[in-house]
Amino acid sequence: MVKNVIFPMISAVLFSAVVASAASAELSKAETAIQNGDCATAMPLLQPLAEKKIHKEDGAKAAELLAHCYVKTNDTANLDRLTSRYLEYYAGNPKRSRMEVIAAERMLHSDSQMVKGVETLLNVLVYSKNGEIKEMAQNLLAQTISKDKRLTISQLTAFADKAVVSKKVSNVTWLRLGRELAEKKNYKAARYWYKKVLVANENEEWVELAKDAMGALEGKSSIPTVLVLAPVSGDFAEFGLDAVKGVRLALEKANLNGKVNLRVADTRADAVEALRRTRQVVAQDSVIAIVGPIMSAPAATVAAWLSSTHSNIPMLTPTATDAGISRMGWNIFQVNVSMDNLATGIANYAVDCLGIREFAVLSPIGDFGTAMTQSFSRAVESRGGVILATQEFEEGRPDYTTEFRKLRAERFDQILHKMNIARGAKNLDAMGAKEKRSFMKDSVFKVPGIFIPSSSPSDAGLIARQVAYHKLDGTLLGTSGWYGQDLIDEGKKLVEGSYFSVSFGNADTNQTYKDFKSAYKAKWNEEPKADKVSGLSYSAASIVFSLIASGETDLVKKIYSQKVFRGVYGDIRFEKGANANVQIMSVDSSAFVNKTVCPSK
């Protein structure tokens, strides 16, 4: 913990400021009382000024003196209230730096606010023009970073990026990181930070400390590092933290604690940041594998760099589903089934197992619908099938009459042309207007396969009802967005006999999932979420850790040669780096049934 050693300096600065411009007898009396160590007398004099005249110069100075007394008397409740009001009123005003130092010192004593306190002091070093205030902030930072045992390696690494505003804070941070990493037997990373002290050469004492530490590491080999790339801050932090929990559980289950260094790098769900952190860690640590990133854009960016510079390091992204990421290099693997494989899987099943050759596509507007439609169409046509019509729609609307009229009109022209060709008519559009209206209104149009890549089960159920209402008859086909009870609740009997592709089948009947769920709850006191982020991350990490535990040295080669691995939600079967283990589900008697194996003909 940080002791209150900084406040003699704060007091000196406060008192000199008051002497220079004191404008009230109360303020002068309070200042004298505080100099005599009598906060009990000073506080009643200062409180009215700080409360009612904080917008005035005397009121602001009274607030600063009062904050000092609250610290001395350990009145944390009033200190928090006072500093909050002061900082809110003087937002953007340079004079806030003095109160920010006081507030930051208070934060350093709180486990939940310690990191915020350090970051506040670093900000003061950036913007404050007051040399005395900057010196106080710098000394408090140096003391905290060098000695506070609550700081983790991840937090210290993050501080190192920001500490460049102060030579003293930078060197203290580098030395502390070197010590912590050496204790973890991560000698390569420790050397990296000690070398920064030597290169900077700012202070003889710091340089000697670094030299001695480097000498003690001579001849020592680092334990291997597995890097986890995930957003642990920002809008997507919830997913990133779940991913980290899954990886940590896998490490524990593999019994590799102390044998493998696990390093988590915050990508903030940003491709540029993910690449920057990856390059930084690979330069610092003995990285032998990467789990993540969990999102497609950062995953693609890191994959492109890693495959061209470090093809011996496997990267397993647990959840990225964009097509083509695994094709960026032979050391890149996608544990989750990609959108391309899902769409191709249901297309192959429809043609090969159901005997369907003609399809209409109802494509939801957006990237998901577009990607699924393109992959499905390519797969159908590569197998000799035909896409009869494609119609876009906006998910979530209650009525799609316009879209279905267009689809029916296109299908009508196709049926009419076939009829007239069969009759030998020269005019393929020949049909009376009255007959055409009747045909369009009352006829049920047969479309052998109707592919609808809806992104949610409720939307899939809704559009299935619309298909029946608008008199289109055919086998309904979908992808992973269909999988959920809302499909059956919304679509009812109209989704019976439909088929859709998923990454994994019913997890509740999978013993591996049951074991994972039980272990996850025991460790983290919560069940894994339905989005599968924690489970997929556990599966990806388990592949890496199982190979390390078995003594494998060429992880990339082994993953390629083994191909099939047991995952939380089912087998993971890599083909050219992508998980190709697509499962086909169907609705039968209001229940989901796995139909991956073709029905016997």
**Residue 582 falls within a domain, yes or no?**
no
Q: What is residue 21's predicted lDDT score, i.e. its pLDDT?
A: 44
State how far the Cα of 355 lies from the Cα of 338, in Å rounded to an integer: 25
Same domain, 348 and 481: yes
Same domain, 240 and 301: yes
Under the banding of pLDDT at 50, 70 and 90, the label for residue 57 is confident
Same domain, 355 and 322: no
Range with the poorest average pLDDT among 20-24, 325-329, 430-434:
20-24
Domain count along the chain: 4
Average pLDDT, the chain: 87
- 428 compared with 83, residue with greater pLDDT: 83
Nearest alpha-carbon partner for 254 in 299, 292, 289: 289
Which whole-number Å values give the CA distances from 202 to 166, 179, 191, 198, 209, in the listed order?
11, 19, 18, 8, 12
Statement: residue 17 has pLDDT above 50: no
Q: How many CB atoms lie within 10 A of CB 529?
A: 13
Average pLDDT score over residue span 60-73: 86
Percent of the chain with pLDDT over 90: 52
Domain boundary among 461, 482, 502: 502
The number of C-alpha atoms within 13 Å of 106 and in the hemisphere containing its C-beta is 23
Same domain, 62 and 200: no
State how far the Cα of 118 lies from the Cα of 110, in Å rounded to an integer: 12
Same domain, 302 and 359: no
pLDDT digits (tens, 9 = 90+) for 546-582: 999 999 989 999 998 998 999 998 889 999 999 999 9
Structure tokens at 560: 């390629």
**Residue 284 falls within a domain, yes or no?**
yes
Same domain, 382 and 433: yes
**Residue 163 falls within a domain, yes or no?**
no
Q: What is residue 5's predicted lDDT score, i.e. its pLDDT?
A: 46
Nearest alpha-carbon partner for 504 in 318, 295, 299: 318
pTM of the model: 0.72
State how far the Cα of 369 lies from the Cα of 454, in Å rounded to an integer: 7
The pairing of strands 445-451 and 358-364 is parallel
Q: What is residue 331's predicted lDDT score, i.e. its pLDDT?
A: 96
Same domain, 346 and 491: yes
Under the banding of pLDDT at 50, 70 and 90, the label for residue 96 is confident
State how far the Cα of 237 lies from the Cα of 558, in Å rounded to an integer: 32
Cα dihedral sign, 178-179-180-184: positive
Dihedral through CA 317, CA 321, CA 327, CA 332, nearest 10? Answer: 0
Nearest alpha-carbon partner for 180 in 209, 146, 139, 212: 146
pLDDT digits (tens, 9 = 90+) for 329-387: 999 999 999 889 999 999 999 999 999 999 999 999 988 889 899 999 999 999 999 99
All residues at 6 or more sequence positions from 480 whose CB lies less than 8 Å from its CB, including other chains: 337, 342, 500, 501, 502, 503
Q: What is residue 448's predicted lDDT score, i.e. its pLDDT?
A: 92
Same domain, 117 and 178: no
Buried (b) or exposed (e) across 506-518, using 16+ Cβ within 10 A? Answer: bbeebebbeebbe
**Residue 596 falls within a domain, yes or no?**
no
State how far the Cα of 55 lies from the Cα of 408, in Å rounded to an integer: 71
Structure tokens at 424: 């030998």
Contact 234, 203 (CB under 8 A): no
**Residue 259 falls within a domain, yes or no?**
yes
- 258 compared with 118, residue with greater pLDDT: 118
Helices (H), ranges, 509-580: 511-524, 533-549, 555-562
Residue at token pair 């460049």: 164
All residues at 6 or more sequence positions from 196 whose CB lies less than 8 Å from its CB, including other chains: 174
Statement: residue 153 has pLDDT above 50: yes
Phi-psi region of 366 (alpha: psi -120 to 50; beta: other; left: phi over 0): left
**Residue 592 falls within a domain, yes or no?**
no
Under the banding of pLDDT at 50, 70 and 90, the label for residue 601 is low
Residue 555 CA to its chain's centroid (Å): 25
Contact 186, 220 (CB under 8 A): no
Nearest alpha-carbon partner for 112 in 141, 150, 65: 150
State how far the Cα of 328 lies from the Cα of 576, in Å rounded to an integer: 10
Helix (H, G, I), strand (E, B) or coil at 240: helix
pLDDT digits (tens, 9 = 90+) for 178-199: 999 999 888 988 999 999 999 9
Structure tokens at 329: 């290099």
Helix (H, G, I), strand (E, B) or coil at 211: helix
Q: What is residue 186's predicted lDDT score, i.e. its pLDDT?
A: 87
What's 354's domain CATH number?
Answer: 3.40.50.2300
DSSP H or E segment with residue 251: helix 237-253
Same domain, 270 and 359: no
Same domain, 328 and 419: no
Q: How many CB atoms lie within 10 A of CB 263?
A: 22
Statement: residue 455 has pLDDT above 80: yes
**Residue 431 DSSP class:** -
Domain with 212, as residue range(s), is 173-222
The residue type found at 75 is: D
**Residue 595 falls within a domain, yes or no?**
no
State how far the Cα of 113 lies from the Cα of 104, in Å rounded to an integer: 9
Largest CA distance in the chain: 113
Q: What is residue 253's predicted lDDT score, i.e. its pLDDT?
A: 94
Same domain, 357 and 466: yes
Same domain, 372 and 495: yes
Under the banding of pLDDT at 50, 70 and 90, the label for residue 4 is low
Phi-psi region of 257 (alpha: psi -120 to 50; beta: other; left: phi over 0): beta
What's 127's domain CATH number?
Answer: 1.25.40.10
Contact 91, 71 (CB under 8 A): no
State how far the Cα of 33 lies from the Cα of 29, in Å rounded to an integer: 6
Q: Which residues pair with 257 in a beta bridge?
A: 260
Average pLDDT score over residue span 215-229: 91
Percent of the chain with pLDDT over 70: 91
Q: What is residue 129's predicted lDDT score, i.e. its pLDDT?
A: 86
Domain boundary among 89, 121, 151: 151
Domain boundary among 116, 151, 186: 151
State how far the Cα of 120 lies from the Cα of 103, in Å rounded to an integer: 9
**Residue 331 falls within a domain, yes or no?**
yes
Sheet arrangement for strand 499-502: 386-393, 358-364, 445-451, 472-478, 499-502, 583-587, 592-594
Contact 352, 382 (CB under 8 A): no
State how far the Cα of 310 lies from the Cα of 300, in Å rounded to an integer: 15
Phi-psi region of 176 (alpha: psi -120 to 50; beta: other; left: phi over 0): alpha
